[in-house]
Structure 1
Amino acid sequence: MNNTDISATLIAAIADLQEETALALVHQRLEAGDDSLLIIEDCQEGMRQVGVRYERNEYYLAGLIMAGEIFSQVMELLQPVIERQVSGQASGRIVLGTVEGDIHDLGKNIVNMLLSCHNFVVHDLGVDVAPTTFAEQATKMRPHLVGLSGLLTSSYDAMRETIALLRSRGYQKPIIIGGGQLSEEVCQYVSADHWTTDAVAGVVLCQRLMAEQVREDED
């Protein structure tokens, strides 16, 4: 199989909740020397498709839970490899959490792990985090960045409320939203500074924003 076929097969295995197939494919790709971050991107696409099927009522909660278990096992395989492969060019503090009303944490946990590997200090607030908790922790931790995670469309209003409260409390540094269903339109609706649907791209974004802050401080 070529690289496109290999990616498509892994994406389909996760989207179809084929646990043994997905794990076997990850093992094969690691043994073949594939980039672990590219494997994560394929797994994320599979998870995105699971989320779409859930919103279309093609999957029920049990499907989401099973997909989460598959992804957790994949990450257990990948984390040691990533820790050996990557290093951060810049480090900083970030407050991260899944917004109120949303209990999904897979995407957030991936971002947490990748940011930690890149030398960020991550304050993970968990899931179903109230706007007031984000605001209190931003005041306490004085992070360089705040990241709000949400998987489903019902999270958008909570993101908007959280960002409005953060700004009213004086937090002026970049706020990033992350989730598989996001778009520029959603970013504007919730008044976020940046958005991402991809954990790896999100880490690159955080590195760039952190580097910009370092340059501003030097000036």
Structure 2
Amino acid sequence: MKPNTAQEQFIQQLSDLQEIEILDAVRSRLAENEDPLAIIEDAQEGMRRVGLRYEQGEYYLSALIMAAEIFREIMEIVQPVVVETQVASTGSGIVLLGTVQGDIHDIGKNIISILASCYGFVVHDLGVDVPPEIFVAQAEALKPDLIGLSGLITASFDAMGQTIALLRQVEARTGRRMPIIIGGSQIDEQICSFVGADYWVRSAMDGILLFQRLLPNAL
């Protein structure tokens, strides 16, 4: 079925792994002064559909790798424009991010890391497969205003819970509150409660809006 809107066509092109077409579309949308954040959101939806096609057996691992590379290229094109259109401030809050132990997915985390930097936050990204002890050590050293834990697979939820339990001990020792946000496509209110987090988000833009709400004086 032919997509009935330009937005749907864009999403479908990424879902179909049409690298040349999707990158041309990104450049065209930017040339028309379209909001780069809207482009990122559409790209996220395209990636979500790639993941669904993989789960349904239509795509193999090689397709996921190709999709990740296309997404990286999209971000390379979009990121400079996002930086130009956002005003960074000098009084930014400090955000500590990382994908929890046992999970190596990083696309969503990387997006929110880029956007948070563009919006003026100081971001410390610990990468993927981060042990709870590393989160704790960095939380004690950096004294972040917010902590974001990312996890895509259900097996990562236990690691989230272990990490948060240790971070709560840091809060108890120091008397310093550090709001903890978890993110991922499988995350919901029930999981947030299960692991002991304060907030949860499913998209990078929701994460940025939450950062701004929690730290209104940082920007």
Shared fold per TM-score greater than 0.5 = yes
Mapped contact 1:91–1:207 kept (Cα < 8 A):
no
163, 182, 186: which is aligned to 1:181? 186
The secondary structure found in structure 2 opposite 1:148 is strand
Partner amino acid, structure 1, of 2:39: I
Going from structure 1 to structure 2, the CA distance change for 1:181 and 1:7 (only over 3 Å counts) comes to farther
TM-score by length of 2: 0.89
Deviation at 1:55, TM superposition (A): 3.3
Structure 2 equivalent of residue 129 of structure 1: 130
Structure 2 equivalent of residue 190 of structure 1: 195
> After alignment, is 27-36 or 126-135 more displaced?
27-36
TM alignment of 1:59-74, pairs within 5 A: 59-74=59-74
| CA distance in 1 between partners of 2:63 and 2:135 (Å) | 30
| CA distance in 2 between partners of 1:157 and 1:208 (Å) | 28
| CA distance in 2 between partners of 1:56 and 1:140 (Å) | 43
After superposition, what is the alpha-carbon deviation per residue over 1:29-72, rounded to whole angstroms, capped at 9, x for unaligned?
A: 11122110001000111112222333334333212211110000
The secondary structure found in structure 1 opposite 2:148 is strand
Partner amino acid, structure 1, of 2:47: M
Moved over 4 A (4+): none
Structure 2 equivalent of residue 115 of structure 1: 116
Which runs of 5 or more structure 1 residues have no equivalent in the other structure? Answer: 215-219
> After alignment, is 22-31 or 68-77 more displaced?
22-31
TM-score by length of 1: 0.89
The secondary structure found in structure 1 opposite 2:40 is helix
TM alignment of 1:7-18, pairs within 5 A: 7-18=7-18
| CA distance in 2 between partners of 1:78 and 1:150 (Å) | 24
The secondary structure found in structure 1 opposite 2:59 is coil
> After alignment, is 58-67 or 190-199 more displaced?
58-67
| CA distance in 2 between partners of 1:102 and 1:55 (Å) | 17
TM alignment of 1:61-210, pairs within 5 A: 61-88=61-88, 91-170=92-171, 172-210=177-215
Structure 1 equivalent of residue 38 of structure 2: 38
> After alignment, is 121-130 or 186-195 more displaced?
186-195
Cα RMSD (Å) of the superposition?
1.8
Identity %: 52
The secondary structure found in structure 1 opposite 2:215 is helix
> After alignment, is 8-17 or 76-85 more displaced?
8-17
Deviation at 1:154, TM superposition (A): 2.2
Tell me the number of residue pairs that the alignment of Structure 1 and Structure 2 aligns.
210
The secondary structure found in structure 1 opposite 2:96 is strand
| CA distance in 1 between partners of 2:7 and 2:162 (Å) | 38
Which runs of 5 or more structure 2 residues have no equivalent in the other structure? Answer: none
| Greater share of residues in helix | 1
Deviation at 1:88, TM superposition (A): 4.8
TM alignment of 1:22-37, pairs within 5 A: 22-37=22-37
Partner amino acid, structure 1, of 2:132: P
| CA distance in 2 between partners of 1:69 and 1:182 (Å) | 24
Partner amino acid, structure 1, of 2:184: G
